Every structure is written in structure tokens, then in C-alpha cells.
Amino acid sequence: MENRFQALLMGLVLGAAIVYLFMPIAQAPGPAGNRPAAAESADGKARPEVRAGNTLAEVRNRGELVCGVNQGLPGFSNPDDKGHWSGIDVDYCRALASAIFDDPTKVKFRPLNAKDRFTALQSGEIDILSRNTTWTMSRDTQLGLDFAGVSYYDGQGFIVHKDSGIENAADLDGATICTQTGTTTELNVADYFRSHGYKYKVLSYEKNDEALAAYDNHRCDAYTTDASGLAAVRLKMKDPSQHRILPEIISKEPLGPAVRQGDPQWADIARWTLFALINADELGVTSKNVEEMKGSDSPRVRRLLGGEGAYGHMIGLTDDWVVRIIRHVGNYSEVFERNVGTNTKLGIERGLNALWNKGGIMYAPPIR
Amino acid sequence: MAGAPTKGKQKIGLKWSNPAVQSVVYQAALIAVVLYGGWVIVTTTQANLARLNIATGFGFMDNTAGFGIVQSLIPYTEESSYGRAFLVGLINTLMVAGIGIVLATILGFFVGVARLSSNWLVSRLAWTYVEVMRNIPLLLQLFFCYFTVLRPLPPPADSLSPLEGVYLNNRGVVVPSPVFGESSTLFVIAVLLSLVAGYAIIRWARKRQAATGEIFPAWRTAIAIVLGVPALIWLVGGAPFTLDLPVYRGFGFDGGMRLIPEFIALLLGLTLYTAAFIAEIVRAGILSVSHGQTEAAYALGLPQGRTLRLVVIPQALRVIVPPLTSQLLNLTKNSSLAVAIAYPDLVAVFAGTVLNQTGQAIEVIALTMAVYLTISLVTSFLMNLYNARVAIQER
């Protein structure tokens, strides 16, 4: 029996020795610079360890930005049949890549469903989440992420079958509503119907396609999502003229890009890239006139385009960062009109998203 | 093990050449490494979550859920807690899995026996069913069931009504629900008592037949008691319950009980899919019983049905039960595909909506996995008990 004990001890010592030998690998965080290369080499999959504080260096080392986007929402992020992405959320990521690399193509888009998007950001699988995500307090505080700002002011609405005779939201008392799970829409519907004392039933599908198919088959009286999404949904229907978007907007949905907490510099880059788009819109700097505008006398334009001050350096970029953004992507107005504006199929008016001095609420702090 | 041969050589026991020593050393080393690995994972996770300001702990379970659930067997409103939503999801999962297990087992047995039928048409039909069902992914079958159930049904306003008070439309099936009145307690007691009496009679008759060989028509008597006594009380004491008839109002029906199409489609998909596998297991079990057994039973003059019931199936069961258990577990776990067609099961409600609203992925997913593990282990335990009963008794 004594032998057993001795053997056991030997084994434990051996085990401890093995652990001790491998300890440096398991525990050492490693220098910032060489980790991405080492972690990416194996299979390109997400790295389990979570880093903070050096996202910019990591993105530069990798040579591209990884951006989490919607799997398919026309106007915001939608791949065409050649795998080319387009939309407001997509263009924001291109703007970010332009600011860093002076090359809007250095973005890898990672399509995410509503449920998995935050996990993807938390785990470091993506550098930035630009996926029509509503900025709410619980998301901002509980999920370990920071919102960079609002890139689109949206609100939740309903679409119904015309033959149902539903004219406005008050007619929805007792109705069955279809939606996608993992979004704020489930809560907004509950709030809205509860506060009005209406009865309702809600069906939450994992994927939008099934939710729409169910609505199309009259399983639900109404389908609900953000108003911008409803315009896209109506286009997807067999006969768009048979569907009506109700006039009521039942919630505030400020959509914007989000980054992981713990890297203030990266959060600043994300925030000011968005503000640069809006400020350029306000100052009339477009992709067409950006080269001429560099010679502008206006101090505000000169600061924006790097003629005065070293604003790019303050966030770890070059001083012509805004020039790069505008040259490749355009200003906010160009992005908006190109993707969802009145000349597109979606035909959405600027509305709330017009600049603050043009009847909307789109407002960016000044660059100074 | 190594005890007996090394007994006399205690002193040279601790040599590396001793295989017993080697195995203990290796095992202890492996355990140490595994424990350390687990510890590293747990502490790293905790540290990272804390550093990233991600909320941890199960405190969220008491917070208000704030969302609606389309089917709930227990009282639930938007003001209920996340914990309550968890229970709703759990019960919905248990309901679809429980009913699915019963239906799939029954259907599987029928198809399995039909597969061996000497009738060409019956056996070919069963064969076709098995091959089609088990070779198409379950998720596709669920979509197929869901949208084929949904599409041809009329909207609530033009509901089909095969019976008074029963309505069928694309929002599901609505039937009248019983509302229990004053005499219902007596009625329920009578039903329970007559069930016990029926069971007792069957056991008594079986024992007497084993002891004396006399046959008593136990089943007929038991059924007469189970149906007759409550019927008598119904006649004497009046109806124990009244019916709450569903009424069409606005968008659908108020009152009555309803089955939503998501439930029907999920149950149908799970049952049809799993039954195909069970049928093959049943067929294998029956084929494992030597043909000599059947011939011997025929020689004793037992008719075909009784041969199957009394001779073949009891022997086949010991082959059938262990793989049947894993199919039943599969059915339970596959019910988590419900989220694809919006049936509010545990995964859809808790690992879906709740997870997304609280963002506490580790807690929510761990709890969900623990629930499935518990359900599966309990199912497994019950099936093992049953297996011990039907296993062959070695004498």
C-alpha cells in the first residue's frame, strides 16, 4: 500500500512539474505587438483571450479591420450576388478603414445575427460592431461595450397586410405580431401594448427570413422592426402594394457603432470617425470637392482636413485622416443618399437624420 | 490488480518497471494537469469579465423580463421576472418533449413492426417512411411541417369548424376548455378510484391465472369500471364541468384552449423524425429474437398476435431499450430547434431573448446546458430502471 502512496506522490510531483513547465505559455499575456500574428496563424478563428488597450496596433498589424455587420438588411449592410457589401453600417466601417489605412477595402465584414453580435465583440472576434444596434443603457453598461455615437436615428414601426383593414396602431389590439428574437423590438412591443392596455401575442423567430415568411403566410397580423427596416421588408414582399406601413413610431432607436470597453483610444477613433462624417456634411466637404476644400480659408474646414492643428495625431492617426475618409467614402449626406436616400429603392427621407441646422437632430461636436 | 503477484516483493515495488506504479503516476499527473487547466480557465474568465465590465452572477433572474411569451402554461406577464420566463421556457420544452417521446415511441413501434410485415404493401410503405424521414435534416422537416401546416389554413375570420366550438385556422386549433363546477371534486376522486380499482383487478387476475390457470376477463372488467363509475356519477350528480366556448373577436378567438401552430409543427416534426429511428431499432430488436422462438410458439398453438406480444417482444425489448433511450434523449435535445419556428422553448426564451437582454452569456448558457443535462440524465435513469426490468434474467 505504501507503494501506492509513493507512486501517487510521484505522479503529483510530475503533474506539478508539467504544469510548471507550461505555466509561462498559459499565463504570460505576451507583448502587444506579436500576439495577433501568432493567434491568427493557426486557423484564423476567434482568439479566446480578450485584449484591451491596443486595438489600433492590432488592426494595423493585421492589415485589415474586422467589422461585425448585419447578415442582410438593405440600406444598412447587404451583400450583393458578388459578395460586395453595401449600406450605411458598411460604409461606416469603410470610413474607419480609410482613416487608418487610406484604403476602404481593408475591411473584413463578418455577418452576425442579432443574438450573437455582442458576444462577437466581447470575445474579440470583431474590432467594431456596426450592425444597426440600438444604443440602450443596459447594453452600454452591462455588456462591456461603448457606443461611439448615433449614425442613424430610427424608431420602431409596424407593417400590416392591407386587406386586414388595419389603419393605425390602435387597430392592433389583440393582434399577433411577428419579430426577430434578440432585438429591442420584443421589449418595445411589450411596452407599447402594455401601456395602451391592448392585448397582443408576439412570435419571435431566430431569423428574419422565417419571421417574414410567417407574416407573409398570415400567421401574424403585423411584422415589426425599425422603420428603416420596414421599407426594406416591404420591398422583399411578393407584392409590396399589398402591405401598409403604419404611421406610428413606437420607440426611439438610436443606432450606432459600438466598441469594446477598455480601449479609450480605439473608442475615440470610432467616435470621431463618425463625427468627421457628420462635420464634413455640415461644412459641405464632399468626396468631389475635398481636394479643393483643403485650400479653404475657413478655419473649421482647415481643422477638419488637417490644415491646422494636429487632430489626427491626438487619436493615433495621421493628420489627413478626414481627407482619407471623405475621399474614399464621402460625407454623411453622401453615405445616406447613396444607401437609403430618396433616390434609392428604399426612398427614406432624411427626417430626423437631417443636420441640426436643417430640421433634423444629427449633430456632431466640433473638431477643435 | 497487481496486488497478488507483488505481495512478497514489497521492497522492490516502487520501481519504474512496475506497471502498477507507472499507471498510478501517469494518472495522478493527468489529474493534476486537468485540474490546473480547469482552474486556469475559470480564473481567466472571471478576470477577463471583470476587466471588461461585463456583469456576472445570477442576480438578473429576479429582474423584470418585460417581454411577452406566446404560450405559457403558468401565469406569466411582461412584469414577471427572468426566473419566471425561464420556468415558462422549461415547461414548454418539457411539454413538447414529453408528448413527443410518447408519440414517437408508439409510432416507431408500429412502423418497426409494419416493416417486418409479410404484407408487401405495408412493409414497403414502412420502408419508404423510414428512409425518407431519417435521411432529411430535422431542421428542414420542421420548416416543411411549419409552413405546410400554416399555408393552407384559413385566417381566423374564415376558421374551419369541424365540430361545435372547435375552430381550426392559421393561428392554431381552438377547442372549448372545461370549467370545473361544484361536483367536480367528487368526479375527480371517482375517476382516480376507478383507475386504481381497474389496475388492482388486472393484477389480481394475472396472479390468479399464474397460480390456477383460470382466465378472468380482467381488461374488459377494468375498462367497464373506469368508464362506468364516472359516467354513473355524471348522470346522478350532473355534469362536473361546463364548457367555455371560444368566441371570435377582432383578431382571433377568446376563451377555450388553443394549440399554436408552432407547437403542432414542432411536435409533428420531432415525432415523425425520431419515430423513423425508433422503427429501425424495433425492427433490429425483433430480428434479434431467433426464429426458433416464433416457431416454438406456433407449435404450442399460440396465434400470431400473441406470439409477437408474449414471446417475441419481451425478448426483443432487451435489445431495443438501450438504443431507444438515446433516441428519446435525441428527441429532447432536438426540441431546442424550436427557436427556428418561434416555439417558445427554453432555448428560444432563455438562451435567446433573456440572454440577449441581459448579455450574461456564460450564466445563461451554463444554466441551459445544466437543464438539458438534468432532463437527459433523468430520462436515462428512468430508462435504465426499465431496462433492468426487461433485461434477461440469468439463472
Rounded to whole angstroms, the Cα distance separating A277 from A143 reads: 27
Residue A104 domain-assigned (yes or no): yes
Report pLDDT digits (tens) over B5-35: 444 445 556 677 778 888 888 888 899 899 9
Element (H, E) at A160: strand A156-161
**Farthest CA pair distance, chain A:** 93
Report the domain count for chain B. 2
Same domain, A277 and A339: yes
Mean pLDDT of chain A: 87
DSSP, residue by residue, B283-297: HHHHHTS-HHHHHHH
Q: Which residue of B has its CA nearest to A190?
A: B67
pLDDT band at A208 (very low <50, low <70, confident <90, very high): confident
Reply yes or no on whether the pLDDT at A70 is more than 70: yes
Query: Cα distance from B29 to chain A (closest Cα, Å)?
Result: 4
The burial of B292, by beta-carbon neighbours within 10 Å (0-12 exposed, 13-18 middle, 19 or more buried), is given as exposed
The pLDDT of A246-275, averaged and rounded, is: 94
Are the C-beta atoms of residues B332 and B379 closer than 8 Å to each other? yes
pLDDT band at B164 (very low <50, low <70, confident <90, very high): confident
User: Which of A181, A223, A238 would best serve as a mutation to test chain B binding (most B beta carbons within 10 A)?
Assistant: A181
Q: Please tell me the predicted confidence (pLDDT) of residue A51.
A: 47
Q: Please tell me the predicted confidence (pLDDT) of residue A24.
A: 58
DSSP, residue by residue, A315-357: TTS-TTHHHHHHHHT--HHHHHHHHTSTTSSS----GGGSBGG
Q: Which residue of A has its CA nearest to B261?
A: A219
Same domain, A148 and A106: yes
Chain A residues near residue B28 by CB distance under 8 angstroms: 7-8, 10-12, 14-15
**Runs of H (alpha helix) within A143-242:** 185-195, 208-216, 227-236
Report the domain count for chain A. 3
The pLDDT of B60-73, averaged and rounded, is: 89
Residue A58 domain-assigned (yes or no): yes
Element (H, E) at A31: none
Mean pLDDT of chain B: 86
User: Which of A140, A143, A173 would best serve as a mutation to test chain B binding (most B beta carbons within 10 A)?
Assistant: A143
Task: For residue B178, count other CB atoms closer than 10 A to its CB.
Answer: 14
Size of interface A-B (CB pairs under 8 A): 174
User: Which of B33, B54, B354 would best serve as a mutation to test chain A binding (most A beta carbons within 10 A)?
Assistant: B54
Structural domain including B346 reads 82-136+270-390
Query: Cα distance from B23 to chain A (closest Cα, Å)?
Result: 9
DSSP state of A362: B
Q: Please tell me the predicted confidence (pLDDT) of residue A34.
A: 39
Reply yes or no on whether the pLDDT at B101 is more than 80: yes
pLDDT band at A28 (very low <50, low <70, confident <90, very high): very low
Structural domain including A90 reads 35-153
Same domain, B313 and B367: yes
Q: Please tell me the predicted confidence (pLDDT) of residue B381.
A: 93
Looking at chain A, the whole-number percentage of residues with pLDDT higher than 90 is: 58
Q: Do B348 and A174 touch (CB under 8 A)?
A: no
Q: Do B32 and A12 touch (CB under 8 A)?
A: yes
Q: Please tell me the predicted confidence (pLDDT) of residue B333.
A: 94
- ipTM of the complex, rounded to two decimals: 0.74
Residue B202 domain-assigned (yes or no): no
Report pLDDT digits (tens) over A96-108: 999 999 999 999 9
Residue B319 domain-assigned (yes or no): yes
pLDDT band at A25 (very low <50, low <70, confident <90, very high): low
Rounded to whole angstroms, the Cα distance separating A144 from A133 reads: 15
Chain A residues near residue B340 by CB distance under 8 angstroms: 205-207, 210
Report pLDDT digits (tens) over B217-254: 888 888 888 888 878 877 877 777 777 778 777 777 77
Are the C-beta atoms of residues B86 and B342 closer than 8 Å to each other? no
Q: Do A174 and B250 touch (CB under 8 A)?
A: yes
Strand partners of residue A301 = none
User: CA dihedral in degrees (B176, B177, B180, B186; nearest 10)?
Assistant: 90
Q: Please tell me the predicted confidence (pLDDT) of residue B256.
A: 75
Residue B149 domain-assigned (yes or no): no
Same domain, B311 and B377: yes
A353-362, B79-88, B245-254, range with the lowest pLDDT: B245-254
| Nearest CA among B67, B138, B192, B189 for reference residue B336 | B138
Same domain, B107 and B30: no
